[in-house]
Amino acid sequence: MYQAKLKGNQRFHLFDNHQEQTTRSYYQTLERIHQALIREEFVLYYQPKVNLIQGEVIGFEALIRWKHPDKGLISPGEFLPVIETYPLSIEIGYWVIETALQQLQQWLIQGFQTTVSVNLGGMQLQDSHFSLRLKELLEKYADVPASCLELEVLESSALEDMPAAIKTMKACNDLNVSIALDDFGTGYSSLAYLKQLPIQVLKIDQSFVREILSNSE
């Protein structure tokens, strides 16, 4: 009925049992991910960033995993795409940031100061309240220098709404949080818009550098 209404007046739409089952399964998965957040089933893994010249660890990247009670460890590629257009992605994003700040605080207590970068989702980047909530989290973990946190933004997310993205990035910079542009080269790859984005780190896609020592092109 609703599909027919969406198409306008004097229309009909045939019920599709397969589509109904697919849609129902999708929303069940969405709700299960929401429950996973409530039940604290998500964990962060920390992948080291290494300076290959000096052979030193210079920071970490926080990578989320779902510790499913029945299916074991689930990679983000299996559940993040399901929520990327829903507000739930924003809440999980804040959980990642706070968990990373907690880990940074624990390391500081142990006498180890480093940086951790976390991925910033498209909806978070476009959220007008993001910088305010980020400020609240930084104040909650005041012992952790804001410069120890780095936010990674996908090239495609930054270009979705440039004015909003620039505003959010500048607000983060004002809090002394650095911004990294991730997967540069997989989308528009325009050098022109890089001048507009207030970023401190550019992560170039491996397709650009994979054969840099062996291919003259």
Q: Are residues 173 and 68 in the same domain?
A: yes
**pTM (predicted TM-score):** 0.85
Q: Are residues 66 and 1 in the same domain?
A: no
The SS3 assignment for 202 reads: strand
Say whether both 76 and 126 belong to one domain.
Answer: yes
Q: Is residue 214 part of a domain?
A: no
Whole domain around residue 4: which residue ranges? 1-39
111 alpha carbon, distance to own chain's centre: 28
Q: Higher-confidence residue: 117 or 85?
A: 117
Residues 130 and 181 in one domain: yes
- Whether the CB-CB separation of 68 and 41 falls below 8 Å is answered with yes
**Residue-wise pLDDT tens digits, 23-38:** 777 788 889 999 999 9
Q: In the predicted model, is pLDDT for residue 186 greater than 70?
A: no
Q: Do 28 and 127 reside in the same domain of the chain? A: no
Chain centre to alpha carbon of residue 199: 16
- Cite the DSSP H helix spans in the chain: 2-6, 17-38, 80-83, 88-109, 122-125, 130-140, 155-160, 162-174, 191-194, 206-209
Q: Do the domain assignments include residue 217? A: no
Count: domains in the chain: 2
Whether 35 and 52 share a structural domain: no
Cα–Cα distance for residue pair 105/148, rounded to 1 Å: 10
Within a domain: 215: no
Domain CATH code at residue 152:
3.20.20.450
pLDDT at 172: 96
Quick check: is 216 in a domain? Answer: no
Decide if 104 contacts 117 (C-beta within 8 A).
no
Shared domain for 127 and 54, answered yes or no, is yes
